Structure 1
Amino acid sequence: MKKLFLGFLSIFLVFSMLAACSQTSSNEGSGDSGSKDGKKRFAIVFKNTGNPYGEKQMDGFKQAIEALGHEAILKAPDQPTAEAQIQMIEELISQKVDSIAIVGNDPDALQPALKKAMDQGIKVLSLDSAVNAQSRMVHVNQADPVAIGRVQIEAISEMIGGKGQIAVLSATSQATNQNAWIEQMKETLKDPKYKDIELVKVAYGDDLRDKSVSETEALLKSYPDLKGIIAPTTVGIAAAGKVLTDKGLKDKVHLTGLGLPSEMAEYIESGVCDWMYLWNPIDVGYLAGYAADALVNETITGKVGDKFTAGDLGEKEVVEDGDGTQIMLGDPFKFDASNIAEWKEVY
């Protein structure tokens, strides 16, 4: 009996040791223990991969975080869906990152995941495309939405001589920044001086190049008298520029919106797009990186009046944004034939 007891005891001890080893191995691989070099970890989640604008934005974020001596984690799903971003947020929560900066694919659908992150002490902010105020501590905005919407209507009106049909080629129907700009476009069009301009459709290319090309072609087919297209998305405006070029529609259908100088230079230089607007997406990401650091260090909490220094961008202040708060980068910048050669080498 004694030998039998010792045999069972030996087997029990072996299995206990194996289980302990297995548990240790699992914990080491999960990322739960934090960064091995002691650096704080700051994550950014963009809308989707293959988006040049998003790549520039993440570059700026990485630049800021590394300048502050921390580790930057750059993530983006293959498709611009809330479900894909939720999965990534859950992974980041399990890794116990210090902060998550999110470019939302949906203003509300991400709320449960982002609230879970905040409940576990992770500082959450949105940038570019906002999530709702309950899902983040502060939002980093590119420019005043009113100015962005208004200036694009002013541009297309001048291009088409204040008369004719126009359409909007947007990103996704859930993108908060796009929707805010489009609403402001519609408000601007109510001005009597735009009474001869008709907005015939808002189309959605989902920030996918092929779909944006297809949507542009569909607009041209459905509205043969179309005079202008506004594409407030870098993917959309480049896709529209290609379609108008391929179809030889220069001076027949005018184009403006928000684009990357490096992608739009050929269309501005050819005259397919007379001019367009944007801000520096690198600076948007850079500002978000410094804002995330300020939240983690509790220099700011996201309340109105909070101030912090954002590296080369100088001092920034938290201001009101509907039910929440935001940090504003600056005004939209005009790119045309006079300056596109210079800026296409920058971004």
Structure 2
Amino acid sequence: MKNKWFLFALVALIAFISWPLAAQTAASPTNVKPAEKMRIAFIPQLIGIPYFTAMEQGGNEAAAKFGGKFLYVGATTASAPEQVRLMDNLISQGVDAISVSVLDSASINPMIAKAKAAGIAVYTSDSDSPDSERQVYVAQALDQDLGYTLIDRLAAQIDEKGKIGIVSGESTATNLNTWIEFMKERVAKKYPNIKIVDIRYTTGGSSADALQQAQDLMTRYPDIKGLIAVASTTVPGVAQAVQQAGKTGKIAVIGYGSPVTVKPFIKSGIMKESVLWDPKALGYLTYWAGLQLAQGKKFNEINNVPGMKNPVKYFADKKILLLGPPLIINSSNVDSFDF
């Protein structure tokens, strides 16, 4: 009888000691792939332009530093159906993480849900879909800051009065539409003498289409004072329209254009400034974020990412990783960048 009680007590003691270890093992799975075997994918809005090429370079640099492979997969024109097709293909390949610069929330959201259901880390970068099941949004800057900053810089150029027009990319592009809403809000709240007369959209963010839309705006509103090119691909078309019309210095042009894109227009005086951020750093952060998600790691409120100059903030309530404040590109610094 004593032996039975001793055996019972011994078994209970072993179970008690083992329980924390078992719980810890369950909470920290050991079947996560090492970084060097990870495949982190990014679907841009389109390929072949300096902005997204810089993001690709940043992603490749991060992959070289942290291990794994960066898959940069896109189409030559901005196409929401093509984004859906590419994402479906990546899901079929069983990659470890997929990020997308969203063109159309309505079409991409079901694919985001499909990726999540397949056990793939899924998130957005550059352009968000906040009503989707994405795990995080890697933001280049806060949307409000981008919209407000652009209007403030344009307002200073036109003495805070006059008519302005907007030439955007695809009408469904989430990020572009969000920035435009904040532009409208800023004008309504701070600049009573500025009027947004029209908002035009282009097919696939075409520069040729942007040129035509800018020409139409100048014809319809001959006293227009400023033109905003919202998509980076529309900047050349809008600037060329003003140049061809002989309105350099008379119609202010501003937009979200990379230094390489806006350099000739800043040098010629058609543009004074462009508002952007460092897309190479954004691509770098996009890869790092995907790696964290794929390995089941959590973001801190402040993240010191190896290889990045500044700490990266994480807003848990909105699930946003913030690259930093907007960058103002002008004649004093346009030669300092290679993207």
Matches within 5 A, 1:278-289: 278-289=276-287
Q: Would the aligned equivalents of 1:291 and 1:310 in 2 still touch at CA under 8 Å? A: no
Query: Is 1:57 aligned to 2:58, yes or no?
Result: no
- The equivalences for 1:217-236 within 5 A come to 217-236=215-234
Distance 1:317 1:161, change over 3 A: closer
Count of paired positions:
304
Q: Which residue matches 2:150? A: 152
The sequence identity of aligned pairs, in percent, is 28
Give the superposition deviation at 1:246: 2.4
1:318 and 2:314 are equivalent in the alignment: yes
1:337 paired residue number: 331
Q: What is the distance in 2 between the residues matched to 1:178 and 1:47?
A: 12
SS in 1 for 2:89: helix
Q: Is the partner of 2:197 in helix, strand or coil?
A: strand
- Return 5+ residue gaps in structure 2 as ranges: 1-32
Q: Show CA shifts across 1:90-111 (max 9, x none).
A: 1111111001011111123211
Distance (Å, rounded) in 2 between the aligned partners of 1:82 and 1:135: 18
CA 1:65–1:165 in 2, change beyond 3 Å: closer, same or farther?
same
Which residue in the other structure is 2:322 paired with? 328
* 1:114 paired to 2:112: yes
TM-score, reference length from structure 1: 0.82
Q: Does 2:162 match 1:168?
A: no
Contact kept? 1:111, 1:132, Cα under 8 Å: no
Letter in 2 for 1:189: V
Counterpart amino acid of 1:106? Answer: D
**Equivalent residue letter for 1:177:** N
Separation in structure 2 between the aligned mates of residue 215 and residue 80 of structure 1, nearest angstrom: 18
- CA drift of 1:280 comes to 0.7
> Aligned-pair distance for 1:308?
4.4
Corresponding residue for 2:254?
A: 256
Query: Contact 1:299 / 1:308 at 8 angstroms: preserved in 2?
Result: no
Is residue 211 of structure 1 aligned with residue 214 of structure 2? no
Matches within 5 A, 1:181-220: 181-191=179-189, 193-205=190-202, 206-220=204-218
Residue identity matched to 2:74: A
CA deviation profile, 1:244-302 (whole Å, cap 9, x unmatched): 222221111111121111121121122111112110111111111100011111112x7
Describe the SS at the equivalent of 1:121.
Answer: coil
Q: Distance in 2 between matches of 1:336 and 1:72?
A: 32
Q: How many angstroms apart in 2 are the aligned matches of 1:183 and 1:134?
A: 20
Q: Does 1:296 align with 2:289?
A: no
Alignment check: 8 A CA contact 2:50 2:260 kept: no
Aligned equivalents of 1:134, 1:120: Cα separation in 2 = 16
2:123 and 2:301 map into 1 onto residues whose CA distance is 15
